[in-house]
Amino acid sequence: MENSVRQKGGIDVSAGDERDYRHVELANGLCVLLVSDSEAEKSAAAMDVRVGHQSDPDHLLGLAHFLEHMLFMGTKKYP
C-alpha cells in the first residue's frame, strides 16, 4: 500500500501532489513557502501573519488592522 504523504523539499505533501515545494527564509526572518505548478494558467499569493495589534510599534498604532484590511480589500490597482 502506497503512503498517502511524502516529502518534497523537506515539506510533507500528499503523495499525489506533483507540484514543487520550497521553503525560504528571507533576510528579515519572514518564512516563505513557494509552490510551483507548471500546469497552472494563473498565479496566486497568500499570506499568514501570526501577529496582531499587540506587536504594533508605538509610532504606528493601528498598523496590524490597516494591513489586515489591505490584505482582504486590496486597492483599485491591485484588487
Mean pLDDT for the stretch of residues 28-52: 85
Q: What is the DSSP string of the chain?
A: ---SEEEETTEEEETT--SEEEEEE-TTS-EEEEEE-TT-SS----------GGG--GGGTTHHHHHHHHHHH--SS--
pLDDT of residue 54 exceeding 90, the answer is no
Does the predicted model carry a pTM greater than 0.85? no
pLDDT interval class at 76 (50, 70, 90) = confident
Catalytic choice (2, 18, 25, 68): 68
68 assigned to active site: yes
Nearest-angstrom CA–CA distance, 28 and 41: 31
Please tell me the predicted confidence (pLDDT) of residue 1. Answer: 41
Q: Sketch the domain layout of the chain as residue ranges.
A: 1-40, 47-79
